[in-house]
Amino acid sequence: MTSRGALFPVLSLLLTVGSLSAATADGRFKPSEAEQNAMLRKLDQVFGWAGVRRLSDLQHLSCSDSKNYAVCDAKVSLRVDGTARSYNVEFDGNRRKLEFAAFYPDEPTPSDIKARSFYTPDQDTVKDPKLRAFAIAAVAKFNRHLRWRWFSGPSIHREGRNLLVTYHVFSDEESKRVAYVQPTLVTFYVSPRGAICGAVYSE
């Protein structure tokens, strides 16, 4: 990744869902049924590319808006490698132009992961050439639809049953200029059968 302007096309898929319902005093709001359906259509497109299938509607949808920046999170059930699993999904951005931000397994985070954060670039512990090639190929297949670009990487490590593949989207110098404004790493979860079963970003 060499261009700052390409980051959000890289990390997010724009969701144009129209105007949302009025916010409450605490900034919380609830998208209309039509808006939720638009969100689901975009999710289905991404999940189709990822090789997983949605089994439920958005559950426990929670949205809030502060200073023209909206955040929504929800849970969905996905079929991954033939098994139904619960996932978290996130959207953010302007309320009139929400972005699909991330999805990841709805599972407890191991205490050692909490302590060191799996996004750190030194977590390059998978050295087996075949496993690395398998994980990189799965991300590349997903990326044929998105045409995302990386500055460097990947680093690969294992979390549970999945391989986590992390790419840098900025050089170190660019990261200093955009810190706390835009994410600098993107991580993909690759299932044992090669599905993309998670995509998250981090500063």
Could you give the CA distance from residue 29 to residue 20 in angstroms, rounded to a whole number?
8
pLDDT tens string 184-194: 788 999 999 99
Helix axis angle, 129-146 relative to 33-50, nearest 10°? Answer: 140
Count of all residues that appear for the chain in the document: 203
> What's the pLDDT score for residue 68?
78
Task: Write b or e for each residue in 85-107: b if 16 or more Cβ atoms lie within 10 A of its Cβ, otherwise e.
Answer: bebbbebbbebeebbbbbbbbee
Residue 173 has pLDDT above 80, yes or no: no
Domain count along the chain? 1
**What number is the average pLDDT over the span 12-34?**
58
pLDDT tens string 106-124: 987 554 444 444 445 558 9
Global pTM reads 0.77
Task: Write b or e for each residue in 17-31: b if 16 or more Cβ atoms lie within 10 A of its Cβ, otherwise e.
Answer: beebeebeeeeebbb
Domain of residue 154, residue span: 4-202
